[in-house]
C-alpha cells in the first residue's frame, strides 16, 4: 500500500500535586477534566470536530485517538493537537479546583507507567489490505517491534525494590506479555489481532500495534511510524526477508529495554545471536534498498536518515547525535546534565521528578516544552499546524466527513451519533450513512446529510 491510513491512540496519566491538605484521586480528577466534554457531548466518549475521538474508559486514563491521517507529518500535528485538547481540559479542571478553594496543580502526563506500577498505552493503527498473509506480517514485524525500542523508546528510570536505579529504553517493555493475541488488557500483546478494521472488511484490515511507548519528540514519532510503515510496505511488496524470529520474545523485549548499550546478544530461534542494533541494521538496510527501487513516500528520507543516525549513535556511544530527537536520549542527556550539576544519583527523587516532568503536556511548565523553547529539541510541525489541527480534520481522509459533520451538527444543536465509520442525525428516520472507505474525503451522501442540518 503506497498511501496508508495511520492513527495514534494515546492514554494519558493524571496526577494532582497538592499544595495543602486536600488532594484528589485520579478518578476525581478525571471527572473534573471531562466536565466540559460531558456538557458538550452528553457523554465522556465523543468525536470532535477535528475527526478525533476523546474518551474516558474504565479507570482514569483519558484517551485521545487521532483522526485517520494519510501522512506522517499530518499524524504528528494531530497527535500534538490531542495534547492541546487535554491541556484545555486541565485549565477547566484547574478552575474548578480553585473555585473549591483547593491549592495545587493538575498534571497530565504523556507517558506509559504510573507510580503504582500500572501501564497505559500508545496504540498505533496501520491500514492494511485484506489480501495477503497476516501471519507473515506478524512474523516479520514482531522482531522489528521488539528491537526498535532502542531508537523510539521513551526512556525510564527503573528502581529495583532494593533501591538500585538504572535507565531503560522503554516504558512499556516490562508490561507486555505476548507477541500476538486478540486481548489488549489481560495478556497485553505486541500486536492485537482483534479484527475490527473500521472500514470495508472485505478490502481492509487494521493493524493494531500496542507495544509502543508514547512519544513526546516529533522526530521520535516520525521514526516510530515511518519505520513501521516501511517494514509493512516491504512485506506487502513481497520483499524476501530473513527469519529473525526470536527464541524468547518476552525475555528479549525486557533484556533489550534494560541494556542501554543496545549491544547485548539476543538469541534467535535459528540458534544465532544478534544484538538489537544488528537486527535494526538489517531492517534499515532492506528499507534503504527498497526505497531506491520503489515509489517514495514524503516521510521516507527523513525516517531513514534518523534511523541510521540513531543506530550510529548507539554503536559509538555518542548520544549527542540524537539527543535533540529521540525521547530516551533527550531525557537521558537532561538527566546527565542535572547529575553533573548536582551530583544526584539516578535513584534520587529529584531525578524521578525530572523523568515525569519530561512527559508533562503543559505547554508552559512541561519540561519537554521548555526544551523545545530552548532549542534543545527539534520539532517537525509548526505551532500553527498544531493549532489548526485542534479543530480542522485532515482534508484528505474520511476524517474530513466526520469532523465537518460533527462541527455542523453541534453548531445546529442537533442530536447525532457518529463512530469511525458511521454518521447519523438521530431525529431523522433517515438511514445511517456508512463511510467504509477511509481514503474517501468527499461523499455526496454526507453532503445531503449536512443539508438536513
Ligand atoms: N481503517 C483504519 N485503518 C487504520 N487506522 C484507522 C482506521 N480507522 C480508524 N483508524 C484509527 O484507529 C484509531 C482507533 O481508535 P480507538 O481508540 O477507537 O481504537 P479501537 O481499537 O477501535 O478501540 P478501543 O481503544 O476502544 O479498544 C484512531 O486513531 C483512528 O484514526
Ligand atoms: Mg483506543
8 A C-beta contact, residue 62 and residue 12: yes
54 forms beta bridges with 46, 64
Residue 123 alpha carbon to ligand 2 centre in Å = 7
- Residues above pLDDT 70, as percent of the chain: 99
* Residues placed in the known binding site: 9, 53, 55, 63, 66, 420
Residue with the three cell numbers 541494521: 281
Written as one string, the DSSP assignment of 80-118 is: HHHHHHHHHHHHHHHHHHHHTT--EEEEEE-SSB-TTS-
Q: What is the DSSP letter of 319?
A: G
**417-437 pLDDT, tens digit each:** 999 999 999 986 778 999 999
8 A C-beta contact, residue 281 and residue 312: no
pLDDT score of 451 more than 80:
yes
pLDDT score of 184 more than 70:
no
Decide whether any atom of ligand 1 lies within 6 Å of the 70 Cβ.
no
Q: Which of 90, 78, 81, 82 is nearest to 63 (CA)?
A: 82
Residue 132 alpha carbon to ligand 2 centre in Å = 25
**49-80 pLDDT, tens digit each:** 999 999 998 778 999 999 999 999 999 999 99
Mean pLDDT of 400-406: 98
**283-331 pLDDT, tens digit each:** 999 999 999 999 999 999 999 999 999 999 999 999 999 999 999 999 9
Report the alpha-carbon distance of residue 206 to residue 191 in Å, rounded: 11
**82-94 pLDDT, tens digit each:** 999 999 999 999 9
Mean pLDDT of 197-223: 97
What's the N-to-C CA distance of the chain in angstroms? 37
Decide whether any atom of ligand 1 lies within 6 Å of the 188 Cβ.
no
The model's pTM is 0.97
Residue from 10, 55, 57, 65 whose mutation best tests the ligand 1 pocket (most atoms within 8 A of CB): 65
Residue 304 alpha carbon to ligand 2 centre in Å = 29
Residues 6 or more apart whose CB falls under 8 angstroms from that of 29 comprise: 14, 15, 16, 60, 93, 106
Helix (H) or strand (E) holding 190: strand 189-192
Alpha-carbon distances of 370 from 111, 174, 216, 363, 406, rounded to whole Å: 17, 29, 12, 8, 34
- Residues above pLDDT 90, as percent of the chain: 90
pLDDT score of 182 more than 90:
no
What are the cell numbers at 79?
497527535
Decide whether any atom of ligand 1 lies within 6 Å of the 68 Cβ.
yes
* Tally of CB atoms within 10 A around 11: 20
**251-271 pLDDT, tens digit each:** 999 999 999 999 999 999 999
Least confident stretch, 45-49, 57-61, 357-361:
57-61
Q: Is 391 a catalytic residue?
A: no
Residue 31's pLDDT band, with cuts at 50, 70 and 90, is: very high
pLDDT at 33: 97
Report the alpha-carbon distance of residue 11 to residue 3 in Å, rounded: 27
Do the strands 189-192 and 178-181 form a parallel or antiparallel pair, or are they unpaired? Answer: parallel
Residue 105's pLDDT band, with cuts at 50, 70 and 90, is: very high
Decide whether any atom of ligand 1 lies within 6 Å of the 393 Cβ.
no
* Tally of CB atoms within 10 A around 84: 15
pLDDT at 185: 63
Amino acid at each position: 500500500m503506497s498511501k496508508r491510513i495511520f492513527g495514534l491512540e494515546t492514554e494519558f496519566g493524571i496526577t494532582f500535586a497538592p499544595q495543602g491538605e486536600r488532594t484528589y484521586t485520579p478518578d476525581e480528577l478525571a471527572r473534573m477534566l471531562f466536565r466540559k466534554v460531558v456538557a458538550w457531548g452528553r457523554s465522556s466518549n465523543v468525536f470532535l470536530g477535528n475527526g478525533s475521538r476523546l474518551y474516558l474508559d474504565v479507570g482514569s486514563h483519558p484517551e485521545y485517538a487521532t483522526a485517520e491521517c494519510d501522512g506522517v507529518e499530518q499524524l504528528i500535528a494531530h497527535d500534538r493537537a490531542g495534547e492541546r485538547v487535554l491541556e484545555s481540559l486541565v485549565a477547566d479542571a484547574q478552575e474548578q479546583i480553585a473555585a473549591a478553594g483547593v491549592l495545587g496543580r493538575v498534571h497530565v502526563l504523556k507517558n506509559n507507567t504510573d507510580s503504582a506500577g500500572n501501564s497505559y498505552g500508545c496504540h498505533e493503527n496501520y491500514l492494511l489490505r485484506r489480501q495477503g498473509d497476516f501471519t507473515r506480517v506478524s512474523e516479520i514485524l514482531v522482531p522489528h517491534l521488539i528491537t526498535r525500542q532502542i531508537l523510539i523508546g521513551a526512556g525510564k528510570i527503573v528502581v529495583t525494590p532494593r533501591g538500585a536505579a538504572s535507565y531503560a529504553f522503554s516504558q512499556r517493555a516490562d508490561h507486555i506479555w505476548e507477541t500476538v493475541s486478540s486481548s489488549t488488557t489481560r495478556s497485553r500483546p505486541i500486536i492485537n489481532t482483534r479484527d475490527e478494521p473500521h472500514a470495508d472488511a472485505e478490502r481492509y484490515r487494521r493493524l493494531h500495534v500496542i507495544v509502543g511507548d508514547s512519544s513526546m519528540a516529533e522526530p521520535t514519532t516520525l521514526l516510530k511510524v515511518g519505520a513501521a510503515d516501511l517494514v509493512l510496505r516491504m512485506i506487502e511488496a513481497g520483499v524476501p526477508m530473513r527469519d529473525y524470529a526470536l527464541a524468547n520474545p518476552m525475555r528479549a523485549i525486557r533484556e533489550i529495554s534494560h541494556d542501554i548499550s543496545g549491544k547485548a546478544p539476543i538469541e534467535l530461534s535459528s540458534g544465532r545471536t544478534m544484538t538489537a542494533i544488528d537486527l535494526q541494521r538489517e531492517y534499515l538496510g532492506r528499507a534503504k534498498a527498497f526505497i531506491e527501487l520503489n515509489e517514495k513516500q514524503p516521510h521516507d528520507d527523513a525516517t531513514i536518515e534518523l534511523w541510521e543516525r540513531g543506530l550510529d549513535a548507539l554503536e559509538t556511544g555518542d548520544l549527542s547525535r540524537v539527543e535533540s530527537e529521540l525521547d530516551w536520549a533527550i531525557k537521558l542527556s537532561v538527566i546527565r546534565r542535572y547529575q553533573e550539576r548536582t551530583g544526584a544519583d539516578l535513584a534520587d527523587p529529584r531525578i524521578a521528578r525530572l523523568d515525569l516532568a519530561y512527559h508533562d503536556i503543559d505547554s508552559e511548565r512541561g519540561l519537554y516544552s521548555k526544551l523545545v523553547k530552548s532549542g534543545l529539541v527539534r520539532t517537525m510541525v509548526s505551532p500553527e499546524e498544531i493549532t489548526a489541527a485542534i479543530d480542522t480534520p485532515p482534508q484528505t481522509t474520511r476524517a474530513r466527513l466526520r469532523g465537518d459533520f460533527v462541527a455542523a451538527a453541534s453548531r445546529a444543536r442537533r442530536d447525532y451519533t457518529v463512530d469511525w465509520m458511521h454518521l447519523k442525525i438521530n431525529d431523522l428516520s433517515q438511514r445511517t450513512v456508512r463511510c467504509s472507505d477511509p481514503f474517501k474525503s468527499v461523499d455526496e451522501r454526507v453532503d445531503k446529510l449536512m443539508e438536513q442540518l
